[in-house]
């Protein structure tokens, strides 16, 4: 995976902790995407769990920058229904709410901005509205989150196809 991180022009990261309900949405999308879809050779899809900051930091320091990064994560937004998918911009991740966005460490937002603004990397974030994230270990997605996996995969396939003619 490390070699591909610095060679592939398109990176898809599924973020989240599978031990905490809907927070496992990003990893579940990557699992389905890699099992049921054929990704172009220039695309790497990886379940990064809660370690996205480490990978983004490596990319910021690397002389190689991907063309695009796609991030799939479970989020909590007022006015959204559980299981609803929506695209967010890096600016949509406010500092005071960074914990709610499950980006798994605030520096991730700064690293994404740096990759986008200074590295010329296209950054797209696909969020899925959580039903709940339990306060204790409880694996398994809500039915709403599980039902959104296929739609997220289709969104990603369309996005990488449009991104890489």
Domains (range + CATH), the chain: 2-163 (3.40.50.1450)
pLDDT tens for each residue of the chain, 165 residues long: 678 889 999 999 999 999 999 999 999 999 999 999 999 999 999 999 988 888 999 999 999 999 999 999 999 888 999 999 999 988 876 454 344 444 444 457 889 999 999 999 999 999 999 999 888 999 999 999 999 999 999 999 999 987 654
pLDDT of residue 92: 78
Count Cβ atoms below 10 Å from residue 2 Cβ, excluding itself. 8
Straight-line distance from the first to the last Cα atom of the chain, in angstroms, rounded to the nearest whole number: 24
* Among candidate residues 70, 56, 53, the one with its CA nearest the CA of residue 153: 70
pLDDT of residue 95: 52
Chain-centroid distance, C-alpha 126: 6
Q: Is the pTM of this model over 0.85?
A: yes
């Amino acid at each position: 995976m490390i070699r591909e991180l610095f060679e592939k022009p398109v990176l898809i990261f599924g973020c989240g902790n599978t031990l905490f309900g809907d927070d496992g949405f990003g990893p579940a999308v990557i699992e389905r995407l890699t099992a049921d879809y054929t990704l172009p050779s220039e695309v790497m899809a990886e379940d990064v769990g809660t370690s996205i900051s480490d990978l983004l930091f490596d990319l910021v320091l690397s002389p190689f920058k991907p063309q695009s990064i796609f991030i799939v994560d479970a989020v909590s937004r007022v006015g959204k229904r559980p299981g609803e998918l929506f695209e967010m911009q890096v600016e949509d991740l406010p500092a005071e709410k960074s914990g709610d966005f499950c980006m798994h460490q605030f520096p991730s937002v700064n690293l994404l901005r740096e990759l986008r603004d200074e590295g010329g990397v296209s950054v797209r974030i696909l969020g899925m509205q959580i039903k709940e994230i339990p306060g204790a270990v409880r694996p398994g997605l809500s039915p709403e989150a599980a039902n959104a996996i296929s739609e997220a995969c289709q969104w990603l396939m369309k996005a990488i196809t449009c991104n890489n003619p």
